Amino acid sequence: MNDQQYEGLCRYFLAQKLEMNIERISSVRIPNPARPGMPQYQHQIDLYWETESNLGLYLHIANAKWRGSVKVDQPEVLLLQQVKQKVGAHKAMMLTNLGFTAGAIAVAKDEGIALHIVKPNFEEGMLSAQDRSEIQANLNGIASASSQPIFLYEIVHKAFDFREVAIQSQFSTSASGYATKVISGYETKVGGGYTHKAGTTGGSSGDVRTQGGGPETKSGGPIKTK
């Protein structure tokens, strides 16, 4: 399986688990905020989508890493965290087929990055080599003909739980055309963490830094399907 095929599988996986229209999950390039006299560059986002609740909009990004033999390591999770901050995303996920090193997991827990193992549950030769639309059509066809899920997955680190802000409406998952887009005039939508003082019983104060998110959830054992 190549990078394009794996990105398509991860897009399908996210659409299924989030119960979203797959067309809402895009591959985009977001320009970095411009600084006078500095060169321009863009952030390539494998998977980009938004959810909405009664309280606001939430931006999510995910990086899909297909690996043959080497697990995702610490520098790659650190880079994803930096991109998350640069584009103002509320949530970032790292998806891979092989697994994560101890250093990668440590960074994810510290920075609130979700880690998931996603593997194909079908013959990889059934997919188009590069074309996103054809890959998605292939995946839909394989799923329709199979009595089993076309992916296997495991939650390594869940981090923040945004299920309560996921869009509740049910959408179809029909294939559509996909193309990398350039988003112009992008604005950061959220600030960083915040710090507050908490009083102690002795009258002194201690610094408490809040990074956000709910309880941490880990999953072990064999890869499971849902």
Query: Partners of 190 in the beta sheet?
Result: none
Amino acid of residue 102: A
* Domains in the chain: boundaries: 3-210
Indicate the burial class of 12 (C-beta count within 10 angstroms; 0-12, 13-18, 19 or more).
Answer: buried
Nearest-angstrom CA–CA distance, 60 and 22: 14
Res. 215: pLDDT tops 60: no
The strand ranges marked E within 77-173 are 91-96, 114-120, 151-157
What are the C-alpha distances in Å from 91 to residues 63, 86, 151, 185, 202?
A: 12, 12, 22, 21, 37
Query: Partners of 196 in the beta sheet?
Result: 208
Nearest-angstrom CA–CA distance, 88 and 66: 25
The whole-number average pLDDT for the span 170-177 is 44
Predicted TM-score of the model (pTM): 0.70
pLDDT band at residue 35 under the 50/70/90 scheme: confident
The whole-number average pLDDT for the span 56-85 is 95
Mean pLDDT of the chain: 80
Q: Which of 175-184, 185-194, 202-211 has the lowest mean pLDDT?
A: 202-211
pLDDT band at residue 106 under the 50/70/90 scheme: very high
Closest CA to 160 of 196, 84, 109, 99: 109
CATH class of 3-210: alpha beta
Closest CA to 24 of 128, 174, 139, 158: 174
Indicate the burial class of 31 (C-beta count within 10 angstroms; 0-12, 13-18, 19 or more).
Answer: middle
Residue labelled with tokens 């985009």: 28
Residue 57, H or E segment: strand 57-65
Q: Would you state the pLDDT for residue 83?
A: 94
The whole-number average pLDDT for the span 93-119 is 97
- Hey, what are 123's tokens? 């013959």
The whole-number average pLDDT for the span 172-178 is 48
pLDDT band at residue 184 under the 50/70/90 scheme: low
